[in-house]
Amino acid sequence: MFKDKNVIITGASRGIGKAILEKFAKNGANIWACASRPNKEFEEECNKLSKQNHVWIKLIYFDLLDETSIKTAFMKIFKDKVKIDILVNNAGIPSNGLMNMTPLKTLREVLEANFVAQIGIIQMVSKKMMRNKSGVIINMGSIGGIEAREGYLSYGSSKAALLWATRSISKELAPYNIRVNAIAPGLVKTSMGDFKPDEEAEKIISNLSIKRMGKPEEVADAVLFLASDHASFITGTILNVDGGRLI
């Protein structure tokens, strides 16, 4: 489906990001796989995935809380002088805590990683896409950015901001044939999903139409759909992948 397409995936070393990486590679895409730090096991997995699917996978490292680190990493990508077809903004950090128990330092860090850094990446990549008059940008939001719950002030606020920005940016970039959408996963079986206490997770599952946690691969499938030509008339949309978490 994505033969000869070139994709940037952030947060690609684990969980949903890793599932997205594997799906794109198996569908013929070349990939810049971004992670926060070098990981030998991840590098070996990327080498294996690359050989099996006859695509190239280049590893890129940066810290979402370090603007210079991000810019340096993307300058490295741009030096390849290869067309960027798709950006999947998946990286982020979890956080929980009641409002009065959330230090402002934590709030700033979560907003920086989950919102400000994402916008900075979109600014850099979209300029390249605008010159090519084509591209797809997919942001990884969260049901937590739609559904207001106690105890998730910093995380929910950061994802709500990203979802709003997705809609706004989609209008700005549509004239350049660039589609911008977001995925809003519900409870998914990843290390970030495990961040919720067991009791809270069980309560959420009991209220779902599909009474189980989601799988990273199911979110990845939604990303592939939005990135594909099958979604050519879809932009500014937030796609809930939540098992029927009706609010």
Left, alpha or beta for 15 (phi > 0: left; psi -120 to 50: alpha)?
left
Q: What is the pLDDT of residue 192?
A: 61
**Per residue in 201-238, pLDDT tens?**
888 888 888 888 899 999 999 999 999 999 999 999 99
**Per residue in 74-99, pLDDT tens?**
999 999 999 999 999 999 999 999 99
Token reading at 122: 């979109």
pLDDT interval class at 134 (50, 70, 90): very high
**Per residue in 37-85, pLDDT tens?**
999 999 999 999 999 999 999 999 999 999 999 999 999 999 999 999 9
For the chain, the average pLDDT equals: 94
CATH class belonging to 6-241 = alpha beta
What are the CA-CA distances from residue 47 to residues 12, 82, 119, 223 (Å)? Answer: 14, 20, 30, 23
Average pLDDT on 188-195 reads 69
Residue of 157, 133, 135, 134 whose CA lies nearest to 144: 157
**Is the confidence at residue 191, as pLDDT, over 80?**
no
Q: How far apart are CA 190 and CA 18, in angstroms?
A: 11
Domain spans of the chain? 6-241
Other C-beta atoms closer than 10 Å to the C-beta of 8 total 24
42: Cα separation from own chain's centroid: 18
Q: How far apart are CA 152 and CA 167, in angstroms?
A: 23
> Which DSSP category does 181 fall into?
E
pTM of the model: 0.94
Known catalytic residues are: 155
